[in-house]
Amino acid sequence: MKVLVTFTALLALAAAMGDEPSQASLVSSYRTIRPGQAFDVALRVQMKPGWHIYWKNPGESGLSPTIAWNLPKGWTASPIQWPTPERLDVATVVTYSYEKEALLLMRLTPPKGTTGPVMLRAKAKWLVCREGCLPAEASLALPLKIAASAVPDPTWNSALRVAQAKLPKPSADYTFRAWRSDKVIDLEIQPRRPELGLAQTVAFFPADEIIEPSAKQSVNTTGAKTDLKLQLSQYAPTSVGRLRGLLVAPKGATLPTGTDAITIDIPIETRKL
């Protein structure tokens, strides 16, 4: 009976998503836009249970999704604004991933004199993995009207606003400093106020390959100050200039700032002896 139920559930999913483990679409915060007025769109990737796609730093395997826009003349698109990913640890290989559904936001700016309607086109490529991986791509289109007053998309406007608000951002509540000593980067976090002290469960997600994703990060707190020891990756270039990444709360929790992650982008200093 249980098998039958599972099978029926699978059939329902298969009917909704076809045979592919993932599918992509473009969604917009507005159906009708105003000339010259920037607005948010997202590459929405829906995945079947168990499958995942990757963050801008995929980690120790995988590949980040890409999007190539084919926009009308005068239009511009921002790079993808990456939401906070989850750390996936599969047989000691650590990746930064999204499961179920990812909304990869971008801000589009139409030119002032634009007239419509328009059809925005983009080609998205992504890798979707479970135990194995499948490359996927889609040619996507987003039809929009243009008028003097904008009309929100009833389905997506609020969802994209929520997604935008949840994006990791820098925080003025902390000062960050990083020092390198041989193969270790010391990330020192000093809150502006003692009550902003971090729990020992915080983690650093590196935005590039200089930090080893699978290496243990030891977290030490002294008073309100927190110190993370990050292992340099064996694939890091000899000279590392900046430490870029996210300070992340454990899954389901938030940092004292009320957000799930803070963006860090600081120079790496050499410790004076």
175/190 Cα distance (integer angstroms) = 5
Does residue number 22 form part of the binding site for another protein (CB under 8 A)?
no
Q: What is the DSSP string of 103-139?
A: EEEEEEE--TT--S-EEEEEEEEEEEESSSEEEEEEE
Does residue number 239 form part of the binding site for another protein (CB under 8 A)?
no
Does residue number 97 form part of the binding site for another protein (CB under 8 A)?
no
Q: Using CB under 8 A, pick the residue from 19, 131, 182, 195 that binds another protein.
A: 131
Question: Is the preceding omega at residue 256 within 30 degrees of 0, hence cis?
Answer: no
**CB nearer to another protein: pick between 62 and 85:** 62
Quote the tokens at residue 119: 């059809």
Does residue number 63 form part of the binding site for another protein (CB under 8 A)?
yes
Q: Using CB under 8 A, pick the residue from 11, 14, 38, 134 that binds another protein.
A: 134
* Least gap, CB of 241 to another protein (angstroms): 17
Q: Using CB under 8 A, pick the residue from 21, 30, 60, 82 that binds another protein.
A: 60
Q: Using CB under 8 A, pick the residue from 17, 71, 77, 133 that binds another protein.
A: 133
63/211 Cα distance (integer angstroms) = 17
User: Terminus-to-terminus CA distance in the chain, angstroms?
Assistant: 69
The helix (H) or strand (E) run that includes residue 199 is none
Q: Using CB under 8 A, pick the residue from 47, 53, 127, 202 that binds another protein.
A: 127
Site string for another protein, 185-214 (x = CB under 8 A): ------------------------x-----
**CB nearer to another protein: pick between 222 and 239:** 239
Half-sphere exposure of 163 (CA within 13 A, CB side): 25
208-237 per-residue burial string, b: 16 or more CB within 10 A, e: under 16: ebbbbbebeeebeeeebbbebbbbbbeebe
Does residue number 56 form part of the binding site for another protein (CB under 8 A)?
no
Contacts of another protein in 64-93 (CB under 8 A): 90-93
Q: CA 208 → CA 93, 174, 176, 237, 245, distances in Å?
A: 16, 22, 18, 11, 8
* Least gap, CB of 127 to another protein (angstroms): 7
Per CB under 8 A, residues contacting another protein are 60-63, 90-93, 95, 125, 127, 129, 131-135, 209, 233-236
